[in-house]
Structure 1
Amino acid sequence: MSLKPWREVAVPHEDVLKGTFKQAEFAADLSRVHAGTATDEYQNPVLFFQRTFITEGMRLLLDSVVKRLSGHGGDPVIQLQTAFGGGKTHTMLAVYHLVSRGGGNVAVSDLPGVPTLLDAAGVTELPLAHVVVLDGIKSSPNQPQTIEGQTIRTLWGDLAWQLGKAEGYALVAEADASGTSPGKEVLEKLLSSYAPCVILIDELVAYVRQFTEGATLTGGTFDSNLSFIQALTEALKAVPTAVLLASLPESDKEAGSQHGVQALSALSHYFGRIQALWKPVATEEAFEIVRRRMFAHISDKGTAEAVCRAFADYYTANGEAFPRETQESRYFERLMQAYPIHPEVFDRLYEDWSSLDNFQRTRGVLKLMAKVVHRLWKDNDKDPLIMPGSFPLADADTRNEMIYYLPQGWDPVVERDIDGERAETTGIETWDTRLGSVQACRREARTIFLGSAPSTPNQMVRGIEAERITLGVAQPGQPIGVYKDALHRLMDKLHYLNSGNNRFWFDTRPNLRREMEDRKRRFQDKEDVVPFIQKHVQKAFQGTGVFSGIHIFTASSDVPDDWLLRLVVLPPDAPFSRTGPSTACEHASGILKSRGDQPRFKQNRLIFLAADGDSVSRLKDHVRSALAWQSIVDDIKELKLNLDQFQARQASQSLDNANATLKRMIRETYKWLMAPMQEAQPGRGLSDITWEQFQINPGAQHLTQEIERVLKENELLITEWAPIHLAKMVRDWFWKDDIKDVKALEVWQQSCKQLYLPRLKDEAVFKNTMSAGAVSQDFFGFAQGKEADRYVGFSFGTCPMLFLDDALLLIEPSTAAAYQQKLEAERAAEQAVRQAQQGVTQPSEGGGLVPPAGGDAPKPTPATESVTPPKVAKRQFYGSIDLDPIQAKKQFADLVDEVVLQFTSRPGVKVEIAIEIRAETANGFDDAVQRAVKENCYVLKFKAAEFEG
Structure 2
Amino acid sequence: MRDVLSTCQPRPEILAGTFNPEIFTASLSKVLGDYRKGEAREGAASLYSDPVAFFRDATHPTQGLCTILDNALARLTNGDLSRPAMQRLDTAFGGGKTHTLIALAHAAMQGQPLAEHMAGILAPERLPAPGQVQVVGIIGDTVDTLRETAGGAAPKPNTLWWMIAQQTLSSEQQASIQSRLDDASAPASDEFFETLFGDRPTLIIIDEIAQYLSRMEAAFPGVGAEQSAAFLMSLSTYAAGRANVSVVLSLASATNAFGDFNKLIRKLQSTHSMSSAEAEAVVREAQRGVLDVVNRTSEATTPVQEGDLSRIMAKRLFVSVDHAAASEVASAFIETYRQAGTDLPAGANDPQLHDRLVAHYPFHPTLIEFLSEELAQVESFQGTRGLLRTLARAVRRIWEAKLAIPLIQTGHIDLSDSTIRNELLGKTENSDLVPVLDSDISKASGTQATSRTVAGELDAANPHPDGYPVHEWAWRAVFLHSLIGRGGGLQDEKFGIDITSAVYEMASPAIKPATVRSALETIEREANYLRERNGRLYADTVPTLNNILRRIEGNVAHAEAMTRVEQVVRSLIKGSSVFDVHPNIDNSEGIPDKTPKPQLGILAFEVEEMDPARFIERRGDAVRQYQNQVFLLAPSTTHIAGTTWTESRTHQEHRTRQNILTLARKAIAVERLKENPENWGVSHEQLQKGEFRERAAKSPAELRTAIDESYRFLIYPGREGGRVVVRDLGKRGAGPTAGGSGGMHLEDAILKQLADEGELITDDRASTAEAITLLGKLFFDSLKQVNVSDLIERFATRRNWPILQRPALLATVLVEGAKRSSWCLGHMPDKDSHKPDPLYHKDNPPPLTVEPLEKGGEGWILCTKEHAKQLGWLESIVRDPNTVGAWIRQVIDSRDQVDLGQLPQIIEQEHDKVDAHVYQQQLENLFAQRQLVAYPREAFNEEGDADPDQAMTGDSVPVGGVTSGIVVPYQTAQARGWITKPKVENRSFVLRTPEKIKQLFNLLSGTGLAQSQTEVQALQIRAETPDKAPFQLMFGQTKVGALVESRALFAALNNRVRFTTEKHEVRLTLGELDPNCKFTKMLEQLEG
Q: TM-score range by the shorter chain?
A: 0.5 to 0.7
Which residue pairs with 1:938 in the alignment?
none
Which residue pairs with 2:372 in the alignment?
350
What amino acid does structure 2 have at the position aligned with 1:799? P
Structure 2: where are the runs of 5+ without partners?
240-244, 267-275, 638-652, 733-742, 878-1088
Which residue pairs with 2:636 in the alignment?
612
Output one character per residue of 1:745-795: Cα deviation in whole Å (capped at 9) or x when no partner: 575367558878763332322212322344588755522632865778443
Q: Do the aligned residues in 1 keep the contact of 2:597 with 2:807 (CA within 8 Å)?
A: no
Q: Does the alignment pair 1:245 with 2:275?
A: no
Output one character per residue of 1:521-551: Cα deviation in whole Å (capped at 9) or x when no partner: 344566676457635863x65x856426656
Question: Which moves more between the two structures, 706-715 or 803-812?
Answer: 803-812
User: Residues of 1 paired with 2:358 and 2:729: CA distance?
Assistant: 55
Q: Do the aligned residues in 2 keep the contact of 1:205 with 1:263 (CA within 8 Å)?
A: no
Shift of 1:335: 3.0
User: Residues of 1 paired with 2:875 and 2:123: CA distance?
Assistant: 129
Which residue pairs with 2:729 in the alignment?
696
User: Residues of 2 paired with 1:657 and 1:776: CA distance?
Assistant: 54
Shift of 1:334: 2.1
Which residue pairs with 2:755 in the alignment?
712
Q: Does the alignment pair 1:92 with 2:101?
A: yes
User: Residues of 2 paired with 1:788 and 1:244: CA distance?
Assistant: 130
Indicate the SS of the match to 1:672: strand
Which residue pairs with 1:236 in the alignment?
235
Q: Does the alignment pair 1:366 with 2:366?
A: no
Output one character per residue of 1:298-319: Cα deviation in whole Å (capped at 9) or x when no partner: 5x65455455455555655665
Which residue pairs with 1:772 in the alignment?
816
Indicate the SS of the match to 2:59: coil
What amino acid does structure 2 have at the position aligned with 1:286? L
Q: Do the aligned residues in 1 keep the contact of 2:562 with 2:606 (CA within 8 Å)?
A: no
1:622 to 663, 672, 682: 663
Shift of 1:42: 1.8
Distance 1:791-1:145 versus aligned 2 partners, 3 A rule: farther
What amino acid does structure 2 have at the position aligned with 1:52? T
Which residue pairs with 1:900 in the alignment?
none
Identity %: 20
Output one character per residue of 1:117-153: Cα deviation in whole Å (capped at 9) or x when no partner: 998x9x99996234032453364879x699xxx9997
Structure 1: where are the runs of 5+ without partners?
214-219, 681-688, 826-949
Shift of 1:643: 11
User: Residues of 2 paired with 1:816 and 1:56: CA distance?
Assistant: 109
Q: Do the aligned residues in 1 keep the contact of 2:180 with 2:187 (CA within 8 Å)?
A: no
User: Residues of 2 paired with 1:21 and 1:616: CA distance?
Assistant: 47
What amino acid does structure 2 have at the position aligned with 1:274? V
Q: Does the alignment pair 1:641 with 2:682?
A: yes
1:183 to 182, 185, 190: 185
Shift of 1:727: 7.1
Indicate the SS of the match to 2:254: coil
User: Residues of 2 paired with 1:528 and 1:25: CA distance?
Assistant: 58
Which residue pairs with 2:21 in the alignment?
23
Which residue pairs with 1:759 in the alignment?
803
Which residue pairs with 1:932 in the alignment?
none
User: Residues of 1 paired with 2:431 and 2:540: CA distance?
Assistant: 11
Distance 1:756-1:59 versus aligned 2 partners, 3 A rule: closer
Indicate the SS of the match to 2:713: strand
Shift of 1:666: 2.7
User: Residues of 2 paired with 1:604 and 1:186: CA distance?
Assistant: 115
Distance 1:790-1:130 versus aligned 2 partners, 3 A rule: closer
Q: Do the aligned residues in 1 keep the contact of 2:357 with 2:365 (CA within 8 Å)?
A: yes
User: Residues of 2 paired with 1:697 and 1:561: CA distance?
Assistant: 29
Which residue pairs with 1:289 in the alignment?
312
Q: Do the aligned residues in 1 keep the contact of 2:578 with 2:806 (CA within 8 Å)?
A: no
Which residue pairs with 1:671 in the alignment?
712
Which residue pairs with 2:928 in the alignment?
none
Q: Does the alignment pair 1:805 with 2:854?
A: yes
Shift of 1:82: 4.8
Q: Does the alignment pair 1:274 with 2:274?
A: no
Distance 1:201-1:302 versus aligned 2 partners, 3 A rule: closer
Q: Do the aligned residues in 2 keep the contact of 1:448 with 1:505 (CA within 8 Å)?
A: yes
Q: Do the aligned residues in 2 keep the contact of 1:9 with 1:304 (CA within 8 Å)?
A: no
Q: Do the aligned residues in 1 keep the contact of 2:503 with 2:516 (CA within 8 Å)?
A: yes
Shift of 1:35: 1.0
Indicate the SS of the match to 1:52: coil
What amino acid does structure 1 have at the position aligned with 2:23? E
Output one character per residue of 1:887-924: Cα deviation in whole Å (capped at 9) or x when no partner: xxxxxxxxxxxxxxxxxxxxxxxxxxxxxxxxxxxxxx
Which residue pairs with 2:567 in the alignment?
534
Write out aligned runs for 1:150-165 (5 A): 155-156=158-159, 160-165=165-170
What amino acid does structure 2 have at the position aligned with 1:521? G
Q: Does the alignment pair 1:570 with 2:570?
A: no
Output one character per residue of 1:80-102: Cα deviation in whole Å (capped at 9) or x when no partner: 6755654333343344335x414
User: Residues of 2 paired with 1:616 and 1:10: CA distance?
Assistant: 43
Q: Does the alignment pair 1:52 with 2:59?
A: yes
Shift of 1:416: 5.0
What TM-score, normalized by structure 2, do the two folds share?
A: 0.59
User: Residues of 2 paired with 1:481 and 1:22: CA distance?
Assistant: 40
What TM-score, normalized by structure 1, do the two folds share?
A: 0.66
Output one character per residue of 1:542-583: Cα deviation in whole Å (capped at 9) or x when no partner: x856426656559999999996536656364454xxxx5239
Distance 1:204-1:512 versus aligned 2 partners, 3 A rule: farther
Write out aligned runs for 1:9-408 (5 A): 9-11=7-9, 20-36=18-34, 40-50=46-56, 51-53=58-60, 55=62, 58=65, 72=81, 82-83=91-92, 85-98=94-107, 100-102=108-110, 111-112=118-119, 115=122, 128-137=133-142, 139=144, 155-156=158-159, 160-167=165-172, 182-185=184-187, 191-195=193-197, 197=202, 199-202=204-207, 225-226=224-225, 229-230=228-229, 232-233=231-232, 236-237=235-236, 239-240=238-239, 241=245, 243=247, 245-247=249-251, 248-250=253-255, 252-257=261-266, 258=276, 260-276=279-295, 278-280=300-302, 281-295=304-318, 302-312=324-334, 315-316=337-338, 324-359=346-381, 362-376=384-398, 382-406=404-428, 407-408=430-431
Q: Do the aligned residues in 1 keep the contact of 2:371 with 2:387 (CA within 8 Å)?
A: yes
Q: Do the aligned residues in 1 keep the contact of 2:568 with 2:704 (CA within 8 Å)?
A: no
Which residue pairs with 2:885 in the alignment?
none
User: Residues of 1 paired with 2:817 and 2:404: CA distance?
Assistant: 77
Distance 1:274-1:60 versus aligned 2 partners, 3 A rule: farther
Shift of 1:271: 1.2
User: Residues of 2 paired with 1:132 and 1:314: CA distance?
Assistant: 51
Q: Does the alignment pair 1:547 with 2:575?
A: no
Q: Do the aligned residues in 1 keep the contact of 2:66 with 2:121 (CA within 8 Å)?
A: no
Indicate the SS of the match to 2:235: helix
Distance 1:245-1:724 versus aligned 2 partners, 3 A rule: closer
User: Residues of 2 paired with 1:581 and 1:706: CA distance?
Assistant: 24
Q: Do the aligned residues in 2 keep the contact of 1:78 with 1:278 (CA within 8 Å)?
A: yes
Indicate the SS of the match to 1:513: helix
Distance 1:181-1:78 versus aligned 2 partners, 3 A rule: farther
Question: Which moves more between the two structures, 720-729 or 649-658?
Answer: 720-729
What amino acid does structure 2 have at the position aligned with 1:341? F
What amino acid does structure 2 have at the position aligned with 1:43? S
Q: Do the aligned residues in 1 keep the contact of 2:581 with 2:601 (CA within 8 Å)?
A: yes
Shift of 1:611: 2.9
Shift of 1:372: 3.5
Indicate the SS of the match to 1:673: strand
Shift of 1:65: 5.1
Shift of 1:184: 1.9
Which residue pairs with 1:899 in the alignment?
none
If asked which structure has higher relative contact order (CA below 8 Å, sep 6+), I would say 1
Distance 1:282-1:820 versus aligned 2 partners, 3 A rule: same
User: Residues of 1 paired with 2:7 and 2:775: CA distance?
Assistant: 81
Shift of 1:275: 1.0
What amino acid does structure 1 have at the position aligned with 2:829? G
Which residue pairs with 2:1008 in the alignment?
none
Indicate the SS of the match to 1:352: helix
Indicate the SS of the match to 2:830: strand
User: Residues of 2 paired with 1:547 and 1:10: CA distance?
Assistant: 67
